[in-house]
Structure 1
Amino acid sequence: MVTSKGSVMELRRIRTNGTELNVALDGTGPPVLLMHGWPHTWQVWREVLPLLGGRRRVIAPDLRGLGDSARAADGFDAATGADDMLGLLDALGVEQTEIVALDAGVPAAFLLGALHPARVRRLVLMEATLPGLPGGFPAPPWWFGFHSAPGLAETVLEGHEAEYLDWFLTAGTFERRGVPSEVRDAFVSAYTGREALRCGFGYYRAAEQNAAAIAAAGRLTMPTLAVGGNTVGDLLNRQLTPIAEDLSGELIARSGHLVPLDRPDAVARLLRVDSATSR
């Protein structure tokens, strides 16, 4: 069990799709699956959960190979990630859920919605662009190439993980104010060591595979919300416009890339509104 600002969550190890995920579970009510990005763990949602007042059944895994989930040799591509989440939902007996995904969690969430629409009641996709769809960043950020080169980044960064992650965690927040110290320490711990780094960079090394899968996936038929902070902005909304049948977009004021940590109130509001209209 873990306590966060008055909310007590259960941490459980759950086997799915040939791996084992560490999963934070909290609350009752309409289910919501929360998928983090890089360099995060489930704790990127830590500030949001107490604001939900236990009114959602929260399922927040550490993604394959990351955080306290089992290290994995492979499977960091979005299609495998979608299958990981399907297996997780099956293990928990969840037939249909809302999915909220951030950053590197977005490609797998997209594929889950596109390929298994009956399992997804609503998609909320935050601060990412999708490879394989036109309209993303004109040029990828510098670290995409660094992280994608096989074996390079983990070799260079081992022993300097804290300094490297601190740059991202500071730059990714509104006005570079940084993240809470306990969340920062959890992230640094999760990505310290060559194997932990390798798994994290595996998500970048799957970009070409993801692009092919996303380009072939088809349309989104469920309600979809594209959420932007001050990094991606409305790029994802524009990417999804031709292929999402029920799309809306929202730009979150006073938020950097790490929307759940910069503006947990805004994220909780989106989820509370959705909960109130759930059947």
Structure 2
Amino acid sequence: MHAAAPVPSFRDSAAEISLHRVAANGIDINVAIAGDGPAVLLLHGFPHTWRLWTELIPGLALHHRVIAPDLRGFGASTRAADGYDAGTLATDAEEFLTALGEPSAAVVGIDAGTPPAFLFAMRRPDRVRRLVLMESLLGRLPGAEGFLADGPPWWFGFHSVPDLAETVLAGHEAEYIDWFLTAGTRGRGLVPEVRDAFVGAYTGRDALRCAFSYYRALPASARQIQDAVETGRLTVPTMAIGAHPVGRALERQLRPITDDLTGHLIDDCGHIIPLDRPDALLPLLTSFLAADRRA
């Protein structure tokens, strides 16, 4: 077991957030931690870092130990050469929970964080007490046909070609990331501090390579998801939350394979739910996780 090495903490609203580097699964993971109580693990997506959860951490930390890592290759975590498939990312999550002394956690995933959160729960239901999945698809599982009627989003193909996107975008990272941040909040944008942190995290050819490696691993991730549902069901209590553009597609994928599923659609909300509509998301999370505290 690896001990987390703390660095100086800082104040963020009512929550004291400490940053740590945790060795797990052959890499060093940068992780923000706040609060005490049952663990809640928050897995971000693209183009985010742990700061995606900035508006939610103070509220969640009132009753939970909130654990928000930079995923492999993102932010201040190791820019690994490989391991961007959902199965390896699920192992990352399991191993750094062990390193932090947490036998189990409620797990929340959005965008690229959703497939590893799902596989973690499928493979180790003894370690995932409750599961929240948002604004993503799970491989090629049925249920997303309507969302994919006109094909996948344009950037999936662009990001998937080795070396292409990072070559084209080098020197123009800010403009590119801003497009996703604007679209993901339906034009409302982010506070400058968080926007600048995201842009900085994705600036440079190697940072872009890591980000696009998630897309290049999508075929492997899809096979892992398919293998998991062919040999088992999702048994942990699960909540699917949609907004724009994914809507209820993820919920429809989960419905046939999940024993205990609750679905929600947040109106007037962009893809980046935790920063666009934290006012709507936090009550859903706290209510769902309250049952975990009573268990």
Q: Which runs of 5+ in 1 are unaligned?
A: none
The TM-score, its normalising length taken from structure 2, stands at: 0.92
Q: Is the 8 A contact 1:97 1:119 kept in 2?
A: yes
Instruction: Specify the alignment match of 1:160 in structure 2.
Output: 172
Structure 1: distance between partners of 2:11 and 2:175: 27
Which shows bigger deviation, 44-53 or 57-66? 44-53
Identity %: 57
CA-CA distance at 1:93 after TM superposition: 1.3
Letter in 1 for 2:271: H
Are 2:181 and 1:169 aligned? Answer: yes
Instruction: Specify the alignment match of 2:225 in structure 1.
Output: 214
CA-CA distance at 1:45 after TM superposition: 0.3
Structure 2: distance between partners of 1:90 and 1:151: 35
Which shows bigger deviation, 13-22 or 134-143? 134-143
Instruction: Specify the alignment match of 2:35 in structure 1.
Output: 27
Of 64, 80, 86, the match for 2:94: 86
Q: CA RMSD, aligned part only?
A: 1.1
1:26-105 matches, within 5 Å, as 26-52=34-60, 54-105=62-113
The Cα offsets for residues 80-106 of structure 1, whole Å up to 9 and x where unpaired, read as: 000000101100111111101010111
Instruction: Specify the alignment match of 2:6 in structure 1.
Output: none
Q: Is the 8 A contact 1:11 1:22 kept in 2?
A: yes
Structure 1: distance between partners of 2:165 and 2:195: 20
Structure 2: distance between partners of 1:50 and 1:85: 22
Instruction: Specify the alignment match of 2:3 in structure 1.
Output: none
Are 2:188 and 1:181 aligned? Answer: no
Letter in 2 for 1:167: W
Structure 1: distance between partners of 2:289 and 2:274: 18
Structure 2: distance between partners of 1:128 and 1:151: 24
Instruction: Specify the alignment match of 1:196 in structure 2.
Output: 207
CA-CA distance at 1:7 after TM superposition: 2.3
The Cα offsets for residues 219-240 of structure 1, whole Å up to 9 and x where unpaired, read as: 1001111100121000000011
C-alpha spacing 1:159/1:52, structure 2 compared with 1 (3 Å): same
Instruction: Specify the alignment match of 2:116 in structure 1.
Output: 108
Are 2:158 and 1:150 aligned? Answer: no
The TM-score, its normalising length taken from structure 1, stands at: 0.97
Q: Is the 8 A contact 1:30 1:275 kept in 2?
A: no
Instruction: Specify the alignment match of 1:263 in structure 2.
Output: 277
The Cα offsets for residues 4-56 of structure 1, whole Å up to 9 and x where unpaired, read as: 23422000000000001000000011210000000000000001112235321
Q: What secondary structure sits across from 2:67 in the alignment? A: strand
How many residues are aligned here?
Answer: 278
Of 211, 234, 237, the match for 2:251: 237
Q: Which runs of 5+ in 2 are unaligned?
A: 1-8
Q: What secondary structure sits across from 2:261 in the alignment? A: strand
CA-CA distance at 1:270 after TM superposition: 2.4
Structure 2: distance between partners of 1:164 and 1:212: 30
